[in-house]
Amino acid sequence: MEFSTKNRQLLSRIATNDRHGENSPYFDGWKAYDSNPFHLIHNPDGVIQMGLAENPLCFDLIEKWIRENPDASICTAEGLDKFKDIAIYQDYHGLREFREAVAKFMGRVGGNRVTFDPNRIVMSGGATGANETVIFCLADPGDAFLVPSPYYAGFARDLRWRTGVEIVPVHCKSSNNFRITRAALEEAYEKAERSNINIKGVIITNPSNPLGTVLDKETLRSLVSFVTDKNIHLVSDEIYAATVFSSPRFISVAEVMQDMDCNRDLIHIVYSLSKDMGFPGFRVGIVYSFNDDVTNCARKMSSFGLVSSQTQFLLASMLSDDEFVGNFLRESSKRLAKRHHVFTKGLEEVGISTIKSNAGLFFWMDMRPLLKEQTTKAETELWRVIINEVKLNVSPGSSFQCSEPGWFRVCFANMDDKTVEVALDRIREFVLQGKEENNHEADKSQARAQRWRKQNLRLSFSSSRLYDESLMSPHLISPHSPLVRART
């Protein structure tokens, strides 16, 4: 149905600004994937999706559990007698069994060093909804949060769009493995205050996206004491907590608080099952605050994003199965470790290094040696080459607000083993090709410049294909799931 847009209806400022984040150039990578997706048999030359942080490695375990537990569904013969009660249940407290199961799961993921209180578990529409809800509770339009960079690209939308709150990045550097230092926090805080920006808190992601590293006890203690000193909030997004696959172990901010003098009213955790269990479609977001007022407020706000009671019921059953959970967590770690190892070893062999990481669904790859100059522009050019020539959709560090050009986030869990091999082969070929060309020229820098010019020429030819309007059907774009061809 076409309607006249001559008499364009005026929409709100929120509706017409750019803070939904989708006009970012980084979606070009996904557009390239969408228009030419890799398939081992049907399209072996297509673009391999390495920009999507999904965790499908243990679905076989989950499917087995579902087959063996038909009463966890309210729609099967075994569970139908509960259908009516569950279908009616819209209490924003959430099913008690669900909250208990999630609290227990969060405790297990933290190595059982903390007990989480089911009465503090508040639901939200995924971690996306949880982060937004927390900001609505803590800050007014115009306030700001310090966020150590590099950070998850979606924060620009989730924390800012409808809340009107700002992000002040705290730039971390590779020289100390991107650690968050007290000095960096203090500096960012002072600078903001001098510019009359009202800092309401700090948001960390632990384990880190995109780094794949965990925060050590010292850093966590330093963060907790920093916010206590400044009387500002600390929001810890622990969505990747169970993706830790080797030591050091995951330490929740909840654990660190236990033996510290701090103001508990300042500490809030965001959690979700999207990454740890691989259930992004089920929209299970959790706000866990140590502040009663925030818990109560977030709970009221959860009316805008409750978890489907059908899903609550299924997960209450699944996550209460101690044996299943134990086995799942063990297997998941094992498989992630193996996948991570295959990749990092393969990259090492061709001289590409990555940040030493032990968590997450991705690694942080160092392509600085391949940049013609250490600038964002050069990084973007390299990125376009990787997408168009190497045909891998990876995420450039600038999309994570990384202050150092040349880093790329590469997701490794969202594909099968054979695709991993193809991806590694392509990277190896690309890197070795570059080295070969260098060896055949007397002047390495001249060779590089030539190579870049050549590629840039090819680039502008192929990028015109990228910008071909017919390929950019906007309805295919979704920032968090390029599974946009709704296959049903």
Partner 1 sequence: MAIEIEQPRVGLSKVAVSKTHGEDSPYFAGWKAYDENPYHETSNQSGVIQMGLAENQVSFDLLEKYLEEHSEASSWGKGAPGFRENALFQDYHGLKSFRQAMANFMEQIRGGRAKFDPDRIVLTAGATAANELLTFILADPGDALLIPTPYYPGFDRDLRWRTGVNIVPIHCDSSNNFQITPEAMEAAYQSAESMNLKVRGILITNPSNPLGATIQRSALEQILDFAVNKNIHLVSDEIYSGSTFSSSEFISIAEILETRGYKDAERVHIVYSLSKDLGLPGFRVGTIYSYNDQVVTTARRMSSFTLISSQTQHLLACMLSNKEFSENYIKTNRERLSKRYDMIIKGLKKAGIECLKGNAGLFCWMNLSPLLEKPTRESELALWKVILNEVKLNISPGSSCHCSEPGWFRVCFANMSEQTLEIALERIHKFMEQRKRN
Active site residues: 152, 237, 239, 275
Interface with partner 1 (CB under 8 A), residue total: 92
Please identify which residue in 53, 301, 336, 415 interacts with partner 1, judged by CB under 8 A.
301
Closer to partner 1 at the Cβ: 286 or 294?
294
Burial (Cβ within 10 Å: 0-12, 13-18, ≥19) of residue 106: buried
CB 211 within 8 A of CB 357: yes
Q: Which is nearer to partner 1, 121 or 427 (CB)?
A: 121
**DSSP single-letter state for residue 47:** B
Nearest approach in angstroms of CB 300 to partner 1 is 5
Instruction: Kindly give, in sequence order, each residue whose CB lies less than 8 Å from that of residue 104, ignoring residues fewer than 6 positions away.
Output: 116, 319, 320
Cβ 486 to partner 1, closest distance in Å?
4
Query: Does 283 sit near partner 1 (CB under 8 A)?
Result: yes
Q: Does 266 bind partner 1 (CB under 8 A)?
A: yes
Tokens standing for residue 114: 């903390």
Phi, psi (rounded to 5 degrees) for 151: -135, 160
Interface with partner 1 includes 327 (CB under 8 A)?
A: no
- Asked whether position 44 contacts partner 1 by CB under 8 A, the answer is no
Q: Is the dihedral of CA 129, 133, 135, 141 positive or negative?
A: positive
Binding pattern for the stretch 141-160 against partner 1, x by CB under 8 A and - elsewhere: x-x-------------xx--
CB of 62 to partner 1, least distance (A): 7
Segment contacting partner 1 by CB under 8 A, of 107-115, 240-248, 288-296, 357-365 = 288-296
Element (H, E) at 407: strand 407-411
Asked whether position 42 contacts partner 1 by CB under 8 A, the answer is: no
- The count of other CB atoms within 10 Å of the CB of residue 379 is 25
| Bridge partner residues of 171 (DSSP) | 149
The separation between CA 93 and the C-alpha centre of its own chain, rounded to angstroms, equals 27
CA-wise closest residue to 214 among 205, 202, 201, 222: 205
Q: How far is the CB of 5 from partner 1 (least distance, A)?
A: 7
Contact pattern from residue 409 through residue 448 relative to partner 1, giving x for each residue in contact according to CB under 8 A and a dash for the rest: ----------------------------------------
- How far apart CA 26 and CA 458 sit, in angstroms, is 20
Instruction: Tell which positions 62-121 bind partner 1, by CB under 8 A.
Output: 62-63, 66-67, 70, 73, 75-77, 79-80, 83-84, 86-90
Q: Per CB under 8 A, does 37 bind partner 1? A: no
Total Cβ atoms within 10 A of residue 308 = 14
Among the listed ranges 132-140, 169-177, 443-451, 453-461, the one in contact with partner 1 (CB under 8 A) is 132-140
> Which residues between 190 and 249 bind partner 1 (CB under 8 A)?
200, 231, 233
**160, 161, 165, 167: CA torsion to nearest 10:** 30
Nearer to partner 1, 63 or 218 (CB): 63
Stretch that binds partner 1, among 2-10, 243-251, 329-337, 368-376 (CB under 8 A): 2-10
* Structure-token pair, residue 292: 């009663």
Please compute, for residue 122, the number of CA atoms within 13 A of its CA located in the half-sphere on the CB side. 28
For residues 205 and 85, give the distance between their C-alpha atoms in angstroms, rounded to a whole number: 37
Q: Judged by CB under 8 A, which of 117, 140, 218, 468 binds partner 1?
A: 140
Contact residue for partner 1 among 42, 194, 440, 475 (CB under 8 A): 475
